[in-house]
Amino acid sequence: MSINDQKTLRRKFLLAPAATASLLLLAACGQSESPEPDAPETEETEAVQSEETDAGAPEDATDEEDAEAEAPEDATDDEDAEAGESAEGVLTMEEVEQNDSPDSCWTVMSGTVYDLTDWIDQHPGGADRIEGLCGTDAAAAFEAQHGDQDGPEGQLAEFEIGTLAD
């Protein structure tokens, strides 16, 4: 699954419950779902009405693509901004080297960048084995330790955050 697909899924599953919760809160407080008849419509009220109309309907892929196309080019997910990940998912070795601690542990293997921060405490060989790889190209160390094993390489896929810039 590509990074863009993951971003789309995050948006889809994070925004829908928030919109539903907002509507439920308005209903519980006795607020009308539509503006007062003599109140001028604003972009905000139009957006709320649009969300209400679409809330029960299945999403159309073209609507989602249109919404992404209308979004500003410099808009990124909060998680991406926190991680320092570029919009294209291409990261530099300098960015990797800046994430060299257990609090933010990125590593490179075979041109792919991984965020191992959540894996450090789960590693069967101990946290110190992963901490030593933070902020580095860990391909040689990984190959030396796990070269003949299939399991560890498969586990890495869920921690992939991008590719290394040439």
Task: For each of the domains in the chain, give its residue range(s) and CATH number, in order of start.
Answer: 3-71 (no CATH), 82-164 (3.10.120.10)
Which residue from 47, 53, 56, 49 is spatially nearest to 32, judged by alpha carbons? 49
Q: What angle do CA 19, 47, 21 make, to 5 degrees?
A: 15
Contacts of 113 (CB under 8 A, 6+ apart): 91, 96, 106, 107, 160, 161, 162, 163, 164
- Stated pTM of the model: 0.48
The pLDDT profile of the chain, 166 residues, written as one tens digit per residue, is: 655 555 555 555 544 555 555 444 444 555 444 445 555 555 555 555 555 555 554 555 555 555 555 544 444 444 444 444 444 589 999 999 999 999 999 999 999 999 999 989 988 888 888 899 999 998 898 888 888 777 777 788 899 999 999 8
Residues 151-163 as b or e (16 or more Cβ within 10 Å = b): eeeeebeebbbbb
